[in-house]
Chains A and B, each alone.
Chain A
Amino acid sequence: MNTISRTENQALARTVLELDVYNHPGVMSHVVGLFSRRAYNVEGILVMPVGGGVTSRIWLLVNEDERLDQMVKQVEKLEDVLAVRRHGAEHEVFVRLEEFFR
């Protein structure tokens, strides 16, 4: 069930999530834990501190499925998450990164 072929995987619609979070050692665990406990794969992750480093921005590339709305609500509930924005798969953050994965 969890084994989808590479071509199938690429055919799925994608969503890019942009999270503003407090920058501390546990925050990544909190965020990805919500996905892993639901066996919801995260296809891509990018994190960098923003500004003075009090906050970070996390970019997640995920497959769209019927659980995505619930996922976003759960992420919004986390204490360390300040904001969540949804983008289409065409968002350039992961597109520009692709050249490092060839």
Chain B
Amino acid sequence: MSKPTYETLSGAQIVVRLLERQGVRTLAGIPGGAILPIYDALSQSALIHHVLARHEQGGGFIAQGIARATGVPAVCMASSGPGATNLLTAIADAKLDSIPLVAITGQVPRAMIGTDAFQEVDTYGLSIPITKHNFLLNSAEDLLEVIPRAFRIAASGRPGPVLIDIPKDVQNQVVEVGEWPAVGVAEVVPAPAAERVALAAAMINEASRPILYLGGGVVHSAASAAAVALAEKAALPTVMTLMALGAMPVEHSLSLGMLGMHGARFTNLALDECDLLIAVGARFDDRATGKVAGFCPQAKIVHIDIDPSELDKIKTAHVGIAGDVGAVLQTLLPAVEAQQRLAWLSRVASLKAAHPLRLPGIDDPRTPYGLIRAVADCLDDQATITTDVGQHQMWVAQAYPLRRPRQWLTSGGLGTMGFGMPAAIGAALAEPERTVVCFTGDGSILMNVQELVTAAEEGVNVKIVLMNNSSLGLVFQQQTMFYGERIYASKFKGMPDFVRVAEGFGVPAIDLDTESDPHAALAAALSSRGPMLIHASIAMHEQVLPMVPPGAANKDMIGG
């Protein structure tokens, strides 16, 4: 046996080496006193490209963009105190959407913890409820175990964010390192219980009006192809949650599109009639189900999820299967009978004909749907689409022809304004060959507008389509519909000149409002390389329809 050669390394150097070994090539963050040893070590890395964000939340969302585009854990960094607190929103967002993220924060030296030292905050305590797991390091040696473990936890089972808080003295502590640990990779998930899969297959075979309900877990598990194969073999009309869009291509004959609060009428009406709901990697979120008692009231439920705590959480399943959804679908496929289900499919088709998704203005690029369609017409399926949060997000979810898993990156669970642009930067850094389009609003863009300079600095191929309705549109819509048209704090009085704002940050910009041929202007803008902002005005009164009022059953939609 050859003797290991010992290296004398600081905790900070160990962190950087472990990240390199883990395969991290791009990470985002902002330095500060308590994390300077790690930044000093990072400066010596020939492998890692550090992206300097301009706000830690932006850094967190850049890392999320990388993770969402690739499915591989991505890293963000912040200093102690305000650096760590600024990161929290991006971490919480990753928790609710099950995104693998590793956040590394600097902490004051151990001897000063608990003394209200400068920039001391209880990062460990603050991050407990918004992480999958977290660590407060006590020695440099522990890094050798904790860092690979953090990556393993982030990627295993249901993915999620992990935070590692490293006191400054631990970063500076020098230790001898002989052997390096294995890199942290996702654990193998136990195979699903065969008799449950058989039960589920029998229920699918016996059902007369089944619907397949796909959630974000299908994307996380790379199970889109398996889901489509199951739908095709058993003739299952298929709905998708916001997080699953792209798992089945929009124009697939079995696709009923997105369900829930802003789903099409026929989609929610079909669900109302189904006698079996097959939920795959979906968690019965209230935006998808509406009033739970009124959701698929006649249906038996098969629920497949990698997280056992999701089974029976909202709806009690007749058959619950804990397991990797891809693996479960693979075992389910040979057990289901090939069917045509002509009666049910024709019922669904007639619902669709009577209550289709209405996209008024689709041919006019000066309307919300028309603008989205005009952008889509300039791009192919290789483009990645991110959004911010608001009406524009829902319009894009309804109207953009998504056909590829991981094509669609949006903040679903937390619904965080400010997500879109930094996430687009991350996606573009991870996959530089793609065009990344961020649809944003005049409210959302301002929540992380500082990252425009990061986009310019990195030269990322990000096109920001700013749908400007001079309002917090979704709030305006809710006040119009449910608060007696008492519009309050949702109409902007002051409006920045967004073209000049972008240009001031070093990002070229065009204003579609002043273009005589908006199609040609869009085509030119979207085919150029590098960051660009495309400003387009939208009428303030435009609404996202249909809409299920909060708390109502999905069949009681308004409009559309």
A interface with B by C-beta (< 8 Å) = 25-26, 29-30, 33, 37, 69-70, 73-74, 76-80
Contacts and interface: CB of A to CB of B under 8 A. Distances in A.
Interface in B105-141: 124-125, 128-129, 132-134, 136
A74 B309 contact: yes
User: Sorted from nearest, which 8 A-B pairs have the closest CB atoms?
Assistant: A73-B309, A79-B133, A33-B128, A74-B309, A29-B128, A33-B129, A70-B313, A77-B309
Contacts of B312: 69-70
Interface in B503-545: none
B294 interface: no
Given A26-B128, A26-B134, A29-B125, 8 more contacts: A26-B136, A29-B128, A70-B309, A73-B308, A73-B309, A76-B309, A77-B307, A78-B133
A40 B128 CA distance: 17
Contacts of A76: 308-309
Interface in B293-344: 307-309, 312-313
Nearest to B153: A79
A72 B364 CA distance: 54
A39 B508 CA distance: 50
Nearest to B158: A77
Contacts of A25: 136
Contacts of B307: 77
Contacts of B136: 25-26
A78 B129 CA distance: 11
Interface of B: 124-125, 128-129, 132-134, 136, 153, 307-309, 312-313
Given A26-B124, A26-B136, A79-B153, A37 B129 contact: yes
B205 to A, nearest CB: 30
Contacts of A80: 133
A95 B132 CA distance: 35
Contacts of A79: 132-133, 153
A30 B309 CA distance: 17
Contact of B128 (A30, A69, A70, A73): A30
Contacts of A37: 129
A25 B134 CA distance: 12
B201 to A, nearest CB: 25
Contacts of A74: 309
A70 B132 CA distance: 17
Nearest to A29: B128
A65 B477 CA distance: 39
Q: Which has the most chain B C-beta neighbours within 10 Å: A25, A33, A70, A74?
A: A70
Nearest to B313: A70
A36 B19 CA distance: 35
A28 to B, nearest CB: 11
Nearest to B132: A79
- Interface-central residue, B125, B133, B153, B312, by most chain A CB under 10 Å: B133
A33 B124 CA distance: 13
Contacts of A77: 307, 309
Contacts of B125: 29
Contacts of B129: 33, 37
A76 B134 CA distance: 16
A33 B127 CA distance: 11
Nearest to B310: A73
Contacts of A69: 312
Most chain A CB neighbours (cut-off 10 Å) among B128, B308, B309: B309
A52 to B, nearest CB: 18
Nearest to B125: A29
A88 B133 CA distance: 30
B483 to A, nearest CB: 26
Residue among A26, A37, A74, A76 with the most chain B CB within 10 A? A26
A44 B134 CA distance: 26
A4 B133 CA distance: 34
Nearest to A80: B133
A99 to B, nearest CB: 34
A30 B163 CA distance: 14
Nearest to A73: B309
Contacts of B153: 79
A40 to B, nearest CB: 14
A78 B308 CA distance: 13
A33 B133 CA distance: 13
Contacts of B133: 78-80
10 contacts: A25-B136, A26-B134, A26-B136, A29-B128, A37-B129, A70-B309, A78-B133, A79-B132, A79-B133, A80-B133
A37 B130 CA distance: 11
B380 to A, nearest CB: 40
A30, A37, A76: residue with the most chain B Cβ atoms closer than 10 Å: A30
Contacts of B132: 79
B61 to A, nearest CB: 24
Nearest to A72: B309
Contacts of B124: 26
Nearest to A67: B313
A86 to B, nearest CB: 16
A68 to B, nearest CB: 12
A74 B129 CA distance: 12
A79 B312 CA distance: 22
Nearest to A71: B309
A25 B110 CA distance: 14
Nearest to A30: B128
Nearest to A69: B312
B419 to A, nearest CB: 23
B88 to A, nearest CB: 15
Interface hub of B125, B129, B308 (most chain A Cβ within 10 A):
B129
